[in-house]
Amino acid sequence: MNKRIEQTINKLYLSLKNVAKDKLYDDIIIQDILDDAKTSRSTYYKYFKAKDDLVLYMFRRIFKHSFNISEDSDKISISKEDFVKGIANIFLYVYSENTLITSIFNSKNNSKLFFEINTILKPYIQYGLEKSYFKQSTLPSDLHLKHLLNDFTFFTFVWVNENFKTNYKTIGNYYIQMNLA
């Protein structure tokens, strides 16, 4: 990705985080992000159609980074050890972005966002299933995949709603202990 484009997107994301300190996610409008970023509407719409698109773009980047996948690649090829680290890294990201994540998870639109986040996470979990990183199950494979994705979302949702009482390593380990072989 072009360095200038990356800087612009990061600036928009940082502005979203800044605005989320004072407003609930549902109450944030794109103009709030633009005002904070001191960026034009046309710049925003050059990259994103809606507020959720910026959040989902960042989740895609974070998941790729967590699993050590290059930005311009969709190929997943990681060891079980790196897979476990990737899961822990995602929880670290959620913790480090707790203000924004809490606002997103408590939004009225959270079921749509959960679905989209699960869609982004799906190839990684699917890869873990194919490599037998997860415990064997008698469930049909598509149902097992949905179960693992929903478990991840559930763990994260409960953790967020408990105001991150448990540290990110522990919550990641709970998910891993329950699901990984």
The class that CATH gives domain 51-179 is mainly alpha
pTM recorded for the entire structure: 0.88
Partners of 134 in the beta sheet?
A: 180
137's tokens:
């199950």
Query: pLDDT per residue over 84-135, tens digit each?
Result: 999 999 999 999 999 999 999 888 888 888 899 999 999 999 999 999 999 9
| Amino acid identity for residue 61 in this structure | R
CA dist 57 and 107 (Å) reads 18
Q: Find the radius of gyration of the CA atoms of the chain.
A: 17
Query: pLDDT per residue over 19-62, tens digit each?
Result: 999 999 999 999 999 999 999 999 999 999 999 999 999 999 99
